Homo-oligomer: A and B are copies of this chain.
Amino acid sequence: MTIFIQPETRQETIGKLNEVKQTFAARGWFPGTSGNLSLKVSSHPLVFAVTASGKDKTKITTEDYLFVGKDSTAVEETTLRPSAETAVHSIIYQTIAEAGAVFHVHTIPNNVISELYGDLGHVLIGNQELIKGLGIWEEGAALAIPVVENYADIPTLAAEIEKVIDSSIPGVLIRNHGIYAWGKNDFEAKRHLEAFEFLFEYQLQLMQAKQSFAISPSQLGIKIV
């Protein structure tokens, strides 16, 4: 399939992706050239820009993104290869109609929590103000963020992801393989991703703190005066 991308669309899309890429790169969210970003430019037919495979995401070059369709192949002539994981982006856009941007990053907390809760099949998070950062405003809300196994076969992985995601929670963890988070645009996808990362790190730190919590101030050298 060949589709003509308007120059202004191309420029605006790449500009937004570059901004997100630089912000996340500065946080170390693309270790070892991992991770990928996409931004939808058309729903019918599905067309989205996605990071090219194997690039150092701390840098900005003229060959960092390509435009692909539903089948994850380029919609225009290019020497760039899309990431093998482009199929995961595509399945998310196909499943969640309102998704306009999909971001995939590896962090220590999202990998550790995916392994901890992997057997359970979802990470349980609750009792936290930052849940509102996911666009969930129900009081006392608890979330079950899905975790799928890290299938090496990408069609299998995409099919498993399709089974577990819905529009109520804007993200999915792959066991020991980071998170995919999305939103209606780059701004919202970034907000969702930051909220997820905060919630994961909070939960991990809280579990450790609970274990060592000593209510007795004297054990911490605190004298009440």
A residues contacting B by CB (< 8 A) are 23, 27-28, 31-34, 56, 58, 106, 108-109, 111-113, 115-116, 120, 124-130, 132-134, 138-142, 150, 152, 174, 176-178, 187, 190-192, 194-195, 197-198, 201-215, 217, 219-225
List, in ascending order, chain B residues with CB within 8 A of A213's CB. Answer: 116, 207
B209–A208 touching, CB < 8 Å: yes
B129 lies within 8 A of A217 (CB): no
- Identical chains bound together, number: 4
**Which of B23, B152, B210 is in CB contact (< 8 Å) with A212?**
B210
Which residues from chain B contact A221 at a C-beta distance below 8 Å? 115, 126-127, 176
A198 with B32: in contact, given A207-B212, A212-B211, A217-B142 (CB under 8 Å)? yes
Given known A115-B206, A212-B211, contact A191–B33 (CB-CB < 8 A): yes
Would A128 and B111 count as touching, CB distance under 8 A? yes
Min CB distance, A157 to chain B, in Å?
A: 11
Q: Which residues on the B side are within 8 Å of A174 (C-beta)? A: 129
